[in-house]
Amino acid sequence: MPIDPTLPYDDTNIFAKILRGEIPAKKVYEDDWSFAFEDINPQAEVHTLVIPKGRYVSWDDFSAKASAEEIAGFVRAVGEVARAKGLVEPGYRLMANIGAHGGQEVPHLHVHIFGGQPLGAMIAPR
Ligand code: AMP
């Protein structure tokens, strides 16, 4: 069920629970601003999620309200994870789904990193 990205942040969402250590995740990276872990249902050879530690529902919320430090830290973390996974030379794809049309299921901003194989069409054919 896609989420409504205009609703307030919900502290019971599954990624908030991962950040609090209440449910397990396969962690691949962590710094002051960000946390990265493997997607539980990978859609490519590499499918890693990077999330900010702050309480942001979506890219929309984050881009409007996060501090410059949070934004810089998060963007750098996404790049760092991709580099650590050796994805730069072969190439990779970033995705952030927002709301119903984007198909966003979890109401805590996450950037998907896909790689490790050719990734095909940018979006599903209409
Ligand atoms: P989105 O549709 O952009 O909101 O993507 C949500 C992603 O979170 C999906 O790719 C799920 O497979 C992934 N996901 C959901 N629950 C977990 C979890 N507990 N640990 C890791 N990934 C998860």
Quick: pLDDT tens for 40-99: 999 999 999 999 999 999 999 999 999 999 999 999 999 999 999 999 999 999 999 999
Dmax (CA) of the chain: 40
Structure confidence at residue 60 (pLDDT): 98
Going from the N-terminus, what domains does the chain have, and what CATH number goes with each?
A: 14-115 (3.30.428.10)
Nearest alpha carbon to residue 115 among 48, 52, 28, 39: 48
Can you tell me the mean pLDDT for 24-28? 98
For a substitution probing ligand 1, which of 49, 56, 113, 114 has the most ligand atoms within 8 Å of its CB?
49
Structure confidence at residue 1 (pLDDT): 87
Q: Which of 47, 101, 108, 110 is catalytic?
A: 110
3-class DSSP assignment, residue 21: coil
- Residue 3 CB contacts under 8 Å (≥ 6 apart), including other chains: 57, 99, 104, 105, 106, 107
DSSP of 51-105, one letter per residue?
EESS--SSHHHHHHHS-HHHHHHHHHHHHHHHHHTT-TTT-EEEE---HHHHT--
Residue 38 has pLDDT above 90, yes or no: yes
CB atoms within 10 A of CB 106: 18
Structure confidence at residue 59 (pLDDT): 98
Structure confidence at residue 122 (pLDDT): 94
Distance in angstroms (rounded) separating the CA atoms of residues 116 and 54? 29
pTM reported for the whole predicted model = 0.98
For a substitution probing ligand 1, which of 12, 39, 46, 123 has the most ligand atoms within 8 Å of its CB?
39
Nearest alpha carbon to residue 10 among 113, 104, 120, 111: 104
